[in-house]
Structure 1
Amino acid sequence: MTTKTHVTRHRFVDVDGIKLFYREAGDPAAPKLLLLHGFPSASHQYARLIEELKDEFHVIAPDHPGSGHSDAPERPCTFDFLADTIEKFLLAIDFTGFSMYVFDFGAPVGFRIATRHPEWIKSLIVQNGNAYEDGLSDLARDFIGNRDPQVARDMLALECTKFGYLEGVRDPEAISPDTWTLDQHYLDLRPQPQIDLALDYHSNVAKYPEWQAYLREHRPPTLIAWGRGDPFFLEPGAKAYLRDLPGARLHLFDTGHFALEENLAEIAALIRAFIPTV
């Protein structure tokens, strides 16, 4: 058995009065990898991936404001605000020139940062993170089109959280109930930031053309790892990236939205093979 050399550290940094939590592992001299989590999760969703990769990469995984262990802002949470805060966080810890793994809500945060600082992005790893209308299911379009706070609050119910983890997977018994239980804990503890973000999601779709222009202009080396059973972001959303990034490496997995739950080893191996080539 190979013994992992590096320890994962659990840290906080102040960003404009917000106590932002992040996980850090690996040698600072190693290639940098930024992991941006999705909804309704936090950086804990990457804990197993960090264990897989921390001896090869310098890994940073923050909790977005209002998620996980990070403070919630006193102002309404928007995706622009998340991106502003994560941008300042990266400057505060002097973490630039990285490969960026984006998933779900992490994609609109990450693409905002990429369009502001294309020089920071060495490569992209996109896992069920949409930037094209092709990939939006009817469920996703209903979510995006909603403007009713009560409907947004209803979407935070346990049955919805569990659905996100289990729909489209190969083997539901392989998915630990700890996943949706922990996410539900944070949702019940602080629902308002997630309600705010649900009501702001339409702002991401409005930016799709800008993000696509960034991809066409800068052509970052890109690895796409996609759960094709995702009920929210459909397979055409993964393939749409190839219009602007014809050299991207596309891998489809027979699993759901949280593809790492069933395909951790395969995705970790793809990352190990991909990043050293860029």
Structure 2
Amino acid sequence: MNVPNVAHRFVDVAGVRVFYREAGPVDAPTLLLLHGFPSASHQFRRLIDALGDRYHLVAPDYPGFGHTEAPDGFGYSFDALADVVEGFVDGLGLERFVLYAFDFGAPVGFRLATRRPEAIAGLIVQNGNAYEEGLSDLARGFIALGPGEEEQVLGLLTLEATRGQYEGGASDPEAIAPDGWTLDQHFLDLPGRKESQVALAFDYKSNVALYPAWQAWLREHRPPTLIVWGRNDPFFVEEGAKAFLGDVPEAELHLFDTGHFALEEKLPQIAPLIVDFLERVGKDSK
């Protein structure tokens, strides 16, 4: 049994002290793991343990999330998060990689992909939406929020709501460790973090506006694509997973009877699919 050594580091990106986890040989295929809301790179700990002995895995925390430290006055928007991740990629010298996009990792990752198409050797999408048909009524209501409706956003930042994102839609809630939502809530409760999340919530509509551009990128570049999706996600419904096949017909699609944080419950089923995918496309991501 090979268990990887995992390094926990910081790198400065234009004044943002970005925390990241890194494991695996640097000359192996690289997988850039982009986390979701309201989590951080810790959501990938089990996946890193499962794959980090043979692949190069890198997982940063965005500004406003996890251990990353942003300066006072940092302007929180999805463009700004993508700017930092792009600088992070440059800072680590990552020239070619497979992109894992989950939840917020989709709008961050697709911005990066459209800016750096030559960097994307493959795409793994896990409950990361890029199509209007993938938005549930709950998600549409969230996207429609704006200034003056801060209290509705703040209602999503409570422990009850955070836990619900993990357990909602799960077929076996006992398989989901409480560590994830507990740690997420710790970070959400730090000074200034709720304000950053409100700003991002109000900016989420900018992602929907970019869906056509991301779809055009998919049609033009046809990256090798693996889609793994919790079909009981209350935010991003399975129609959003199937929609990718319209632009990338060769994509491999797997739906699982679980919720939004699919890796929490279905890692034993999903990890082998990722291994198979990396074996096929990974030689182009070193």
Taking structure 2 as the reference length, what is the TM-score of the superposition? 0.95
SS of match in other structure, 2:68: coil
1:3 CA displacement? 2.7
Count residues in correspondence. Answer: 276
Query: Which residue of the partner structure matches residue 93 of structure 1?
Result: 92
- What is the aligned partner in structure 2 of residue 151 from structure 1? 152
Give the ranges of 4+ consecutive aligned residues of structure 1 lying more than 4 Å apart after TM superposition.
none
Give the deviation of 1:149 after TM superposition. Answer: 2.1
1:26·1:58 contact (CA, 8 Å) conserved in 2?
yes
| Aligned partner of 1:238 among 238, 241, 248 | 241
Shift of 1:72: 3.0
SS class of match (2:189)? helix
1:183 corresponding residue in structure 2: 184
Residue 227 (structure 1) shift: 0.3
Q: Which residue of 1 aligns with 2:36?
A: 38
CA contact 2:2–2:53 (8 Å) conserved in 1: no
Could you say which residue in structure 2 is the equivalent of 1:67? Answer: 65
Q: How does 1:1-278 map to 2 (within 5 A)?
A: 2-4=1-3, 6-73=4-71, 74-147=73-146, 148-189=149-190, 190-278=193-281
CA distance in 1, matches of 2:165, 2:70: 23
Give the 3-state SS of the residue equivalent to 1:191 in structure 2.
Answer: helix
Please give the secondary structure, in 2, of the residue aligned with 1:130.
Answer: coil
Distance (Å, rounded) in 1 between the aligned partners of 2:269 and 2:174: 19
Q: What's the offset of the Cα at 1:158?
A: 1.4
Conserved? CA contact 2:28–2:56, under 8 Å = yes
% of aligned pairs identical? 62
Helix, strand or coil for the counterpart of 1:186? helix
Range with greater deviation from structure 2 (163-172 or 103-112): 163-172
Q: What is the CA–CA distance in structure 1 between the aligned matches of 2:240 and 2:217, rounded to whole Å?
A: 17
- Conserved in 2, the CA contact under 8 Å of 1:136 and 1:234? yes
Match of 2:58, SS?
A: strand
Provide TM-score, normalisation by structure 1. Answer: 0.97
Please tell me whether the aligned partners of residues 26 and 55 of structure 1 are also in contact (alpha carbons under 8 angstroms): yes
Q: Deviations over 1:65-84 (max 9, x none)?
A: 11000013422310000000
- Kept in 2, the 8 Å contact 1:24–1:60? The answer is yes
Amino acid in the other structure paired with 2:48: I
3-state SS of 1:24 partner: strand
8 Å CA contact 2:169–2:234 kept in 1: the answer is yes
Equivalent residues of 2:29, 2:55 under 8 A apart: yes
> Using the alignment, how far apart are the partners of 1:195 and 1:210 within structure 2?
25
The 2-side partners of 1:68 and 1:30 are apart by: 27
Q: Structure 2 CA distance, aligned partners of 1:272 and 1:101?
A: 13
CA RMSD, Structure 1 to Structure 2 (Å): 0.9
> Distance between the aligned counterparts of 1:194 and 1:180, measured in 2?
16
Q: Quick one: structure 1 residues 38 and 81, their matched pair in 2 at CA, closer, same or farther if it must change by over 3 Å?
A: same
CA distance in 1, matches of 2:171, 2:183: 22
The answer (yes or no) to whether the contact 1:72–1:193 under 8 Å persists in 2 is: no
Report the CA distance between 1:141 and its aligned residue. 0.5
In 2, the alpha carbon distance for the partners of 1:195 and 1:180 equals 19
Distance in 1 of aligned mates of 2:269 and 2:156: 31
Distance 2:2 2:53 in 1: 10
Distance 2:156 2:277 in 1: 36
Bigger drift between 66-75 and 104-113 goes to 66-75
Partners of 2:31 and 2:242 lie apart in 1 by 24
